[in-house]
Chains A and B, each alone.
Chain A
């Protein structure tokens, strides 16, 4: 017994010391397409055709950031391409290679997204990889409870509240669901949907009377919200289990419901408020770190990612839509067929009010989100006084804007110097 152990030990040590092998694949480090199914599709359907191969490694936020930090700090690394949301890439703006020399001939990229990819510099820090949005989804059983005169494709916040109320009262339990779980994207709802719809602003009017009204409306809605919402990260699951009949979420986090039971659900635009139908597009980008082992090869992968076929394959894998003019095929999966038109209806509605992702906050983007999350947890969950909470959170927000010096972005009016919080 002891001898076997000894042999085993020596063998393991020997292997442990020599097992590392060189690998010519480009390492694609991403915090998107993290769910295992999407990972699998990215590897098999999107990246397989890239000459030389790609090692696609999706990460949780912790390891994702830590590894990039470590490679940035040492100046040497294994990561060839980084894929992340706009805000994630902004954290390391100085670490990315200028991509303006990547040949994009024949591909028309959205100019607004290209501009975002410069972080206000003259260099192309990242290229827009894919985009998404947030919509509402409902179980078809819920439609009979729609308040009188309401059009599902043109709802107001009041109608949504009335609908949720009908559902709660007539089915016996609250059926509205909201992604307020630890990984849920609740802050985007407040930043890009609720507050702009009532105040026409994301930052400046954070503590205005209109904002107070908006939070009041949300508290009203919360009464008819399934209390398990604080555990929901992805609304597709409670929709599928039937715990929730009406929900708001990111399209990629609703898609499974449509793919598993295409006939059971409908998707439609987010509601509108007094100032319009506010919505917040989601933008993911791809960048090349300065520490990449083979920058030329990495840029080839970037170019590959922007090609129409790759963009369409990415849509099928992740439910994120192309950032280019790539033509969509006819045989899209059920989720894309349902969610695409809902997004389209929302962004092209007459009262559309786009609210952009925060610009110029750098590594403080997370603290910006926390201001809205804290406001939610204090006002809605802890039932604290709305006025008082907004005043305190507004102070944090104002300091954040002053420290970063970030000027206002849409829908707030342009500012000289840091965006003011009135």
Chain B
């Protein structure tokens, strides 16, 4: 087996798989976005973009991702550092940190709604402590920014674990000699983190960012649970056109927009966080 054919052999199963179960159905859907009665048209994109809700929807989605993902990266780095510093309690803490991995967005939406709703836990606590006299309405349509914050908190809670796990398993690969060398040269903890951990962790950070950003553009269940239709997001509108309005063409157009911004974000991460020695993905 020479190294010319080996990569293709290794990629073959995944390629065949994705072509059959993703690319083929995807092309069928993508065609819908551009066709009407068998001919080519841009009409569905026009319908989509001229809808009064399109731009708010678009920006909500992008801004949510732009706020959530960097916060998650910072939090996950902190959690991974904490885990690295622990001794006897390491496994317990690591287990607790990884718990949200197993949570569906459906369940996460329910949990956070129970916290934020008018007769929910947060209000119970505030009233119980005497901070407010009667329950506050957090998730009303006039306080868009409160809904925004609630969604951000819920997403931080639900989906930071995945970033952390990728980073922890990446950190495990950094040879401890590097740290020892850095220490010999008098580097403090912060300097070691910036000069050793971060650069060495670059492939893992890149992976985590790409996966999380793509997932963030598809945020849906949590937003619907907390904000209803007050905070429209792209996937929600895709659903609406596909299943409530029964217009599969416009739904396909929405889906292609999600795909496009995901690819754009991915390309940015690939460029900015280019990994050394040609080991780019």
Asked if A259 is an interface residue, CB under 8 A from chain B, the answer is no
Asked if B134 and A370 make an inter-chain contact with CB atoms under 8 angstroms apart, the answer reads no
Query: Which chain A positions have C-beta within 8 A of B137?
Result: 226-228
Given the interface pairs A367-B245, A367-B247, the reply to whether A228 lies near B117 with Cβ below 8 Å is yes
Asked if A228 and B243 make an inter-chain contact with CB atoms under 8 angstroms apart, the answer reads no
Given contacts A366-B245, A369-B244, A370-B240, 16 further A-B contacts (CB under 8 A): A91-B246, A172-B134, A180-B228, A181-B229, A182-B224, A182-B228, A182-B229, A226-B137, A227-B137, A228-B139, A230-B228, A243-B118, A370-B245, A374-B53, A378-B52, A381-B230
Given the interface pairs A173-B134, A230-B229, the reply to whether A366 lies near B141 with Cβ below 8 Å is no
- Of the listed residues B137, B230, B242, B246, the one surrounded by the most CB atoms of chain A closer than 10 A to its CB is B246
Expressed in whole angstroms, the Cα–Cα distance for A377 and B141 within the complex equals 11
Expressed in whole angstroms, the Cα–Cα distance for A306 and B229 within the complex equals 37
Q: How many residues of A contact B (CB 8 A)?
A: 29
Asked if B36 is an interface residue, CB under 8 A from chain A, the answer is no
* Minimum distance in angstroms from A386 CB to a CB of chain B: 15
Over the window 221-236 of chain B, the binary record of Cβ atoms lying under 8 Å from chain A Cβ atoms (1 yes, 0 no) is: 0001001111000001
Expressed in whole angstroms, the Cα–Cα distance for A309 and B206 within the complex equals 63
Asked if A381 and B141 make an inter-chain contact with CB atoms under 8 angstroms apart, the answer reads yes
Asked if B134 and A62 make an inter-chain contact with CB atoms under 8 angstroms apart, the answer reads no
Expressed in whole angstroms, the Cα–Cα distance for A172 and B135 within the complex equals 12
Asked if A62 and B242 make an inter-chain contact with CB atoms under 8 angstroms apart, the answer reads yes
Query: Which chain B positions have C-beta within 8 A of A377?
Result: 53, 229
Over the window 357-371 of chain A, the binary record of Cβ atoms lying under 8 Å from chain B Cβ atoms (1 yes, 0 no) is: 000000111110110
Query: Which chain A positions have C-beta within 8 A of B245?
Result: 366-367, 370
Asked if A242 is an interface residue, CB under 8 A from chain B, the answer is yes
Query: Which chain B positions have C-beta within 8 A of A369?
Result: 244
Expressed in whole angstroms, the Cα–Cα distance for A242 and B242 within the complex equals 36
Given the interface pairs A181-B228, A230-B228, A231-B228, the reply to whether A366 lies near B119 with Cβ below 8 Å is no
Query: Which chain A positions have C-beta within 8 A of B230?
Result: 230-231, 381
Q: Which of B117, B243, B246 contacts A367 (CB 8 A)?
A: B246
Query: Which chain B positions have C-beta within 8 A of A228?
Result: 117-118, 137, 139-140
Asked if B134 and A61 make an inter-chain contact with CB atoms under 8 angstroms apart, the answer reads no
Asked if B140 and A230 make an inter-chain contact with CB atoms under 8 angstroms apart, the answer reads yes
Asked if B89 is an interface residue, CB under 8 A from chain A, the answer is no
Expressed in whole angstroms, the Cα–Cα distance for A374 and B54 within the complex equals 12
Expressed in whole angstroms, the Cα–Cα distance for A366 and B119 within the complex equals 33
Expressed in whole angstroms, the Cα–Cα distance for A242 and B118 within the complex equals 10
Chain B binding site: helix, strand, loop or mixed by DSSP? loop
Asked if B5 is an interface residue, CB under 8 A from chain A, the answer is no
Asked if A227 and B246 make an inter-chain contact with CB atoms under 8 angstroms apart, the answer reads no
Expressed in whole angstroms, the Cα–Cα distance for A243 and B120 within the complex equals 11
Q: B116's closest neighbor in chain A, by CB?
A: A231
Expressed in whole angstroms, the Cα–Cα distance for A102 and B118 within the complex equals 50
* Minimum distance in angstroms from B208 CB to a CB of chain A: 26
Asked if A242 and B119 make an inter-chain contact with CB atoms under 8 angstroms apart, the answer reads yes
List 12 A–B pairs whose Cβ atoms lie within 8 Å, in order of A's numbering: A61-B244, A182-B228, A182-B229, A227-B141, A227-B142, A228-B139, A230-B140, A230-B141, A230-B229, A231-B227, A366-B246, A370-B240
Expressed in whole angstroms, the Cα–Cα distance for A65 and B142 within the complex equals 34
Sort A-B residue pairs by CB-CB distance and give the 8 closest, nearest first: A227-B140, A230-B141, A241-B119, A366-B245, A363-B246, A366-B244, A182-B228, A62-B243
Expressed in whole angstroms, the Cα–Cα distance for A61 and B246 within the complex equals 11
Which chain B residues (27-82) contact chain A, with CB distance < 8 Å?
52-53
Asked if B148 is an interface residue, CB under 8 A from chain A, the answer is no
Over the window 150-187 of chain A, the binary record of Cβ atoms lying under 8 Å from chain B Cβ atoms (1 yes, 0 no) is: 00000000000000000000001100000011100000
Expressed in whole angstroms, the Cα–Cα distance for A180 and B141 within the complex equals 11
Q: A362's closest neighbor in chain B, by CB?
A: B246
Q: A381's closest neighbor in chain B, by CB?
A: B141
Over the window 126-156 of chain B, the binary record of Cβ atoms lying under 8 Å from chain A Cβ atoms (1 yes, 0 no) is: 0000000010010111100000000000000
* Minimum distance in angstroms from B140 CB to a CB of chain A: 4
Query: Which chain B positions have C-beta within 8 A of A173?
Result: 134
Expressed in whole angstroms, the Cα–Cα distance for A226 and B141 within the complex equals 10
Asked if B157 is an interface residue, CB under 8 A from chain A, the answer is no
Which chain B residues (80-124) contact chain A, with CB distance < 8 Å?
117-119
Q: B236's closest neighbor in chain A, by CB?
A: A182
Query: Which chain A positions have C-beta within 8 A of B246?
Result: 65, 91, 363-367
Asked if B269 is an interface residue, CB under 8 A from chain A, the answer is no
Expressed in whole angstroms, the Cα–Cα distance for A178 and B139 within the complex equals 15
Query: Which chain B positions have C-beta within 8 A of A231?
Result: 117, 139, 227-228, 230
Expressed in whole angstroms, the Cα–Cα distance for A374 and B237 within the complex equals 13
Asked if B179 is an interface residue, CB under 8 A from chain A, the answer is no
Which chain B residues (180-194) contact chain A, with CB distance < 8 Å?
none
Query: Which chain A positions have C-beta within 8 A of B227?
Result: 231
Q: A374's closest neighbor in chain B, by CB?
A: B52
Query: Which chain A positions have C-beta within 8 A of B244?
Result: 61, 366, 369-370
Q: A240's closest neighbor in chain B, by CB?
A: B119
